[in-house]
Chains A and B, each alone.
Chain A
């Protein structure tokens, strides 16, 4: 599959030998032969591939700073990479770039229980943070499905969420500080072990900036005490509408569950076949509701949720009575992506967020599209926070199907925006959705974002070609505020 990336600078590619030699003066951890750089040609969005001119694997913040400064001074593009599990192609290299692999930044630097935080290097995995503090019954709340492999630095770049975001927030709400290196080599500390730094919230802008503003070299995250009790209920419905209404009613009753997940029938069958989770197979939608808190609180809320489910015509319900049983409920859901791998040679996982009350509407539309494109789709949905993950199945050996799958995905995301949602809940825009940005934003909005990019990286060398559309203007020119026939800000650089 071809992907349009910013035009490669032939001089840089020609100068590869000199560049590699220069970088060797900063660190000897450089990979540059074809065989060596091949493993870095893609990330979690593996349909797109491109090798960089070299891969640099720094070990210290000072080395990161020197590499970036060298590249800045010599106008060489840099693409940062954490664990490479990102699903929107944010770490896909450019033909004329240095790939900055942060893999050697893999140590937890401090577990500070007194200040309830962990200081870690960016390539520590998400799960390793919880593992480092669980002996004292603490944990790190955001839990993306890839938490075993994805890095905490990557979580910062993509503002990763997980199944518990409704109650505990995403990365941005659990991040206390970072050390970052700007493209010109400046090392900055943002935030720390205190709460709410004053001045502009640069930490907030960095989070979810997809590696375009700086390279994270250290992360401080908040850790929480594990709840006393956690229980889950499985609820089956004859229609998707009923499951959506049930979710709305639970929230309307003032209950904020730790997690609420819906799967549609194709996914119920696929995950149950794969993980033997014991799901009911005669329902159209399966809702998992997890509640946490003190024992009596959780028991009371479970009863309330079951009552609400009954009122919404639930045809099946089962509450977990042990932690083993609760984990079994999750086993299928957490294996959703792997299970779909069995159904078709390839799938793409989309990621839109929508208002919760539009769930049935959007799923109905996805089913219509599935018929139109003649491609199967399975849906899982972080129902609590409106984050939808349709899995579109296709065969990448068939170029027609590949194109259809991409169009299908784009149609879903456009519809998400149309009903009041957004293009990405937690996977980011990357290269995958950048051309759809104009569905949500107009020229002014994107220009403002580019102005911010310019403030951090004036030469546009850090991860270019990601997040923002490569076009010169969003198509709908009429949206621009033209004042008395004049372009309003003629002195500003335009994208």
Chain B
């Protein structure tokens, strides 16, 4: 068993990959190793980017930050907070589901997994916030793409393709991220005691207004203990709508929501409670003390209704985020998981397994990808970065 190579510079990353490219050695690339995500891979060598840590440039008025891949998320979020800025896609801190406590890992890992939280609905996904990067591809060549500006059509937009590529295309050595101002104020409109059909209707009505809802989630009654706030009732379902912006505007929009949903049982969470509520949603904190499989089901909103109906009798827990576009499911029955995957495939969606037992990670699919032509093109794309298939082989799909 070989040890872990701790790369300290782009040159070291390049030399190490080049050496293994020549020897055709499969390599596992890790950041802080905080996420047990993706398929388990068998590699003879491991390269860690943990030591490549630090903030290279941060210009708040230019709305970007340039960082090394091993930089802890906590460090980035803290420096941004000092300047009243944040990452608009609100990356999930998956430490809760893997190690029962906060551990968001490194920015490189977050980019590799394209992790986007509740902010995704309004602000876009992580991939929309990566402005440019430097990396070393599977043959050891140092490459770069993009820049630090938001408008850029200069060559193919590789920032998109490295986001969510789980380290299978290149080892990222530098990342430029778009940052956004933290909203001045925010509140949450909480509606209790509704079923999922009503919840999806409420999403539809609320998100069709001009109120700029920036978060929309729903917890059914059997999963609401997820939320720790005292003001959130524990015996009934809860739907949260977040409104952010200048305080007067937030208060005004809350009044409008009250008028629209005047017949509902409503609680308003203040700024302090809102921050806690959405942190718990973002980080799946309620799943911290569970061991079952966690998967993300992504479907067109109209198909989510059918999904929930279809699996009404199945044994699993879920909550909805992104206005009903995704369901975070907790389940132990592998048969149900397979059925869910098939449902997603048939209904213009997909299912990603975020946490699973090791045997499942070795033997089962992690992502959904049924179309053989898409698979062929994905393989060719992988080859274009990593011609000998040495970077995290099999992490996303068996044989890729």
Contact = CB atoms under 8 A, between A and B. Distances in A.
Contacts of A165: 150-151
Interface string B1-20: 00000000000001100100
A126 interface: no
A336 interface: no
Given A195-B326, A293-B249, A386 B150 contact: yes
B286 interface: no
A198 B341 CA distance: 13
Contacts of A173: 124, 128
Given A353-B149, A456-B377, A192 B245 contact: no
Contacts of B154: 422-424, 429, 437, 440
Given A114-B302, A447-B141, A455-B380, A252 B149 contact: no
A21 interface: no
Given A225-B209, A293-B245, A201 B153 contact: no
Interface stretch (A296-304, A361-369, A396-404): A296-304
B364 interface: no
B249 A455 contact: no
Interface in B348-400: 348-350, 352, 367-369, 371, 373-374, 377-378, 380-385, 387, 396-397
A199 B163 contact: no
B167 interface: no
Interface residues on B, range: 35 or more
Interface stretch (A267-275, A277-285, A338-346, A481-489): A481-489
A170 to B, nearest CB: 6
A50 to B, nearest CB: 23
A76 B299 CA distance: 40
A200 interface: yes
A116 interface: yes
Contacts of B54: none
Interface in A373-412: 382, 385-387
Nearest to B152: A422
A488 B151 contact: no
A186 interface: yes
A448 B143 contact: yes
Interface in A443-484: 444-449, 451-452, 454-456, 467, 481, 483
A429 B381 contact: no
A403 to B, nearest CB: 24
Which one of A189, A204, A293 has the highest number of Cβ atoms from chain B below 10 Å of its Cβ? A204
A356 interface: yes
Interface in B135-170: 137, 139-145, 147-161, 163-165, 169
B155 A437 contact: yes
Interface stretch (A33-41, A205-213, A234-242, A323-331): A205-213
B152 A424 contact: yes
Nearest to B164: A201
A201 B161 contact: yes
Contact of A426 (B151, B252, B371): B151
B18 A429 contact: no
Contacts of A161: 151
A161 B249 CA distance: 28
B349 A194 contact: yes
Interface residues of A, number: 96
A357 B61 contact: yes
A182 interface: yes
Given A385-B150, A422-B147, A447-B141, A455 B208 contact: no
B347 to A, nearest CB: 9
A421 B147 contact: yes
Contact of B151 (A170, A205, A357): A170
B81 interface: no
Interface stretch (B178-186, B223-231, B267-275, B277-285): B178-186
Given A200-B161, A444-B141, A448-B143, A116 B207 contact: yes
Given A448-B384, A452-B381, A195 B149 contact: no
Nearest to A196: B125
Nearest to B141: A444
Contact of B157 (A113, A172, A252, A420): A172
B210 A492 contact: no
Contacts of A69: none
A266 interface: no
Given A199-B367, A451-B385, A481-B141, A115 B153 contact: no
A121 B250 CA distance: 39
A487 B366 CA distance: 38
Contacts of A186: 373, 377
A227 B148 CA distance: 29
B62 A296 contact: no
A169 interface: yes
Given A429-B153, A483-B18, A201 B127 contact: yes
A354 B378 CA distance: 33
Contacts of B158: 205, 448-449, 452
A449 B141 CA distance: 12
A379 B397 CA distance: 50
7 contacts: A116-B301, A193-B302, A198-B298, A198-B352, A208-B157, A252-B61, A455-B381
Nearest first, the 4 closest Cβ-Cβ pairs linking A and B are A204-B160, A297-B249, A254-B181, A193-B300
Interface of A: 112-116, 137, 158-159, 161, 165-166, 169-170, 172-173, 182, 186-190, 192-205, 207-210, 213, 225-228, 248-249, 251-252, 254-256, 293-294, 296-297, 300-301, 353-357, 382, 385-387, 420-429, 437, 440-441, 444-449, 451-452, 454-456, 467, 481, 483, 488-489, 492
Given A386-B150, A440-B154, A449-B156, 17 more contacts: A116-B207, A188-B371, A196-B120, A199-B367, A204-B160, A205-B156, A213-B156, A296-B246, A296-B249, A300-B248, A429-B153, A449-B145, A452-B381, A455-B380, A455-B383, A483-B18, A488-B140
